[in-house]
Structure 1
Amino acid sequence: MAEKIRIGVLGASGYTGADLVRLGVRHPAIEIALLTANSHAGKPMDAVFPHFAFVDLPDLVTVEEADWSAVDAVFCGLPHGTTQEIISDLLARHPHIKVIDMSADFRLRDPDTYATWYGHEHRALGLQGEAVYGLTEHYATAIASARLVACPGCYPTASLLALLPIVGAGLVAADDIVIDAKSGVTGAGRGLKQNTLFSEAGEGLSPYSIAKHRHAPEIEQEISKAAGKTVYVNFTPHLIPMSRGELCTSYVRMVPGTSADDLRACLADAYQKAPFVHVARPGVVPQTQNVRGSNYVQIGVFADRIPGRAIVVSVLDNLVKGSAGQALQNFNLMFGLPETTGLEQLALFP
């Protein structure tokens, strides 16, 4: 094989960064050259994540110690609000590097919307205009030529893959969408939080960030674009007592003369060449265990008992297709590799 592409991972001590490393280790075109984690700097990766004891990885370093001249691409797994200035400085000094950002810092195109939802002005507006939204199946051409890709959040990925084709085709009312979303606790990150303690999250199900979750404007941004008008959605996330996995149930009102079969056919046509999006046969119910540990998305469509309405169910692994896997899928496009490279693994079941 030709010389490998050297990558760095910002925030390698988080769940997203760790899953990127897990996938990157087996990617035939990747050499993991740099891992940062300020709070764990100086440690070997397996001191933070013991499951990496079986592979040879560079030790963790601080962002300040990182030698960016040694890498061709950087994956960013930092919390929102911390990536903008780091990436801005990085690209100013090393403009050849390609950046795949898994944080929320470059997802929202409107800087005013960003400031409203994230509590501060965007600190890298020049780059914000350059960033390509990384929903692979809908922006592949732009991603392939991009220097900076903003990977979608996990909830938007699951929701938008299920909704964009049928909204864009005018088969459903874009202004009457309700999304009931559920995610495993890794979606809350690895930091210590009371609501993700085993005793708090186990044996129960709870909604959170009701009417104020930051993925809502991201979903609305893309649905509005597909609909050709400003759209707002009802979106409520829930915490499920499991490590990984995500299920979104979207309730839609169909336009007169449209059936659930029409929605399914539209989705199947939209994703007929998409290697990781699978539209289930009629009657097959998507389940998170069908995609666990994989980069696959499964979508099912069902007629509601209420005339004129349908229910669209989509599932994915929030750490893979919802984050690190989609980032790697975008990396493949950016470097002219087959889209599926390093992502061919099936779900881990049972």
Structure 2
Amino acid sequence: MAEPVGAAIVGASGYAARELIQILLRHPGVKVAVATSRQDERLDALHPGLTKRIDLACEPFDADRIAERAGYAFLALPHTASMAIAPSLRERGVKVIDLSADYRLDDAQVYEDWYGHEHTDAEGLNSAVYGLPELFRQKIPSATLIANPGCYTSASILGLAPLVAEGLIERTGIVIDAKSGVSGAGRSPKLNTHFPECNESLSAYSVGRHRHTPEIDQILTTASGGGDPVEVIFTPHLVPMDRGIFATIYAKPLGTAVEHDLIELYRSFYADSPFVRVVTHLPATKDSAYTNFCDITVRVVRGRILILSCLDNLIKGAAGVAVQNLNLMLGAPEATALF
């Protein structure tokens, strides 16, 4: 049996990093060799569920030390932090899977407009491959920098891709009404995710200005083969549950929409995608919780197409798809360690 490849977890203290480590611990071809954090602690102190599962202490980021022990690095860092270190890793031959949004947009000015920060790695932005295997499976294996998609974006893009790819809906006026569990806001304490603030409450946020909007527009435009841009109206909501994303999407068909035919279209479109489940029942977040599945169904209501799409924001929306990308880069079966 071949020696497992070394993987580094850069930014190991967060929720997505914890899920990533748990998945990699059951991966036969990978060893978690390095973990970095500003908190100088053992991994099992940061994440008690890892006790007796991994014997590794966090250390400060050092590109040379990572390159000595790991061929792949997962960057589980805040937005704007990844671009500061990804070049140093790639210069040393380490392939990077970035879980932040730093490399998802292909236009540096669009990034600056939405994130309020100048993009400092133009070369990386130009060479990054968007890491949604269901749409870009052929480009991922040869990539050295993967822009791992986010949770809202994955649920939304997977829900809409078959319709835009086949030119079946109007490209503007698409409405995405999406809900997220509180873990989607990260582990760092914030007022709006403080228990007394969010418990037994449902609230919208970033209305009309959420940073995932241009990402969804960009990838759906690409998935449709270019042409007139796809434009969505994306409204996120915070719901008082730990994990999960649920998106209800409304689109206007260009012709007569038949529900059965649309279901068959989705099944055909995702026939080679092991982690998209096209269902006929109404999905719920508990169906996909703690899995790498995205559950999708379609309804036709009063001449409009409704798409219901849900997934686990920490797994299919972050750590799980990151491992899908790693598997494709390694030439391993895409589902390794994910079932």
Q: Flag whether TM exceeds 0.5 (same fold).
A: yes
Q: Report the TM-score when normalising by structure 1.
A: 0.94
Deviation of the 1:64 alpha carbon: 3.5
For the pair 1:15 / 2:15, whether they are aligned, the reply is yes
* Deviates further, 58-67 or 190-199: 58-67
Structure 2 distance, partners of 1:163, 1:262, is 15
RMSD of equivalent CA atoms: 1.2
Amino acid corresponding to residue 53 of structure 2 in structure 1 = V
For the pair 1:251 / 2:250, whether they are aligned, the reply is yes
1:34 corresponds in structure 2 to 34
Determine helix, strand or coil for the equivalent of 1:254. Answer: coil
Deviation of the 1:257 alpha carbon: 2.4
1:275 corresponds in structure 2 to 274
For the pair 1:318 / 2:302, whether they are aligned, the reply is no
Residues matched between the structures, number: 336
Is residue 34–residue 66 contact of structure 1 (8 Å, CA) maintained in 2?
no
Which 4+ residue blocks in structure 1 deviate beyond 4 angstroms?
Answer: none
Determine helix, strand or coil for the equivalent of 1:212. Answer: coil
Determine helix, strand or coil for the equivalent of 2:277. Answer: strand
Deviation of the 1:261 alpha carbon: 2.5
Structure 2 distance, partners of 1:222, 1:140, is 14
1:166 corresponds in structure 2 to 163
Is residue 36–residue 66 contact of structure 1 (8 Å, CA) maintained in 2?
no
CA displacement, residues 252-308 of structure 1 (integer Å, 9 cap, x when unaligned): 111122323232221111001211101002xx001110011000111011111x2x2
* Deviates further, 217-226 or 128-137: 217-226
2:100 corresponds in structure 1 to 103
1:348 corresponds in structure 2 to none
Amino acid corresponding to residue 100 of structure 2 in structure 1 = S
Could you list the runs of 5+ residues in structure 2 that have no partner in the other structure? none
Structure 2 CA distance for partners of 1:247 and 1:66, relative to 1, 3 Å? farther
Aligned positions of 1:171-320 closer than 5 A: 171-227=168-224, 228-281=227-280, 284-304=281-301, 306=302, 308-320=303-315
Deviation of the 1:226 alpha carbon: 3.1
CA displacement, residues 240-263 of structure 1 (integer Å, 9 cap, x when unaligned): 111111100101111122323232
Is residue 267–residue 278 contact of structure 2 (8 Å, CA) maintained in 1?
yes
Q: Report the TM-score when normalising by structure 2.
A: 0.97
Structure 1 distance, partners of 2:170, 2:204, is 26
Is residue 320–residue 326 contact of structure 1 (8 Å, CA) maintained in 2?
yes
Determine helix, strand or coil for the equivalent of 1:137. Answer: helix
| Identity over aligned pairs, percent | 42
Deviation of the 1:65 alpha carbon: 8.0
- From 43, 46, 53, the counterpart of 2:44: 46
Structure 2 distance, partners of 1:48, 1:140, is 34
2:75 corresponds in structure 1 to 76
CA displacement, residues 137-187 of structure 1 (integer Å, 9 cap, x when unaligned): 100110011111101111010010110111110111121210000010010
Determine helix, strand or coil for the equivalent of 1:129. Answer: helix
* Deviates further, 222-231 or 205-214: 222-231
Determine helix, strand or coil for the equivalent of 1:162. Answer: helix
Determine helix, strand or coil for the equivalent of 1:67. Answer: helix
Amino acid corresponding to residue 290 of structure 2 in structure 1 = G
Deviation of the 1:222 alpha carbon: 1.2
Deviation of the 1:27 alpha carbon: 1.0
Structure 2 distance, partners of 1:66, 1:267, is 45
Structure 2 distance, partners of 1:175, 1:47, is 48
Structure 1 distance, partners of 2:42, 2:256, is 60
Deviation of the 1:66 alpha carbon: 6.8
CA displacement, residues 202-233 of structure 1 (integer Å, 9 cap, x when unaligned): 11111111111101110010122234212221
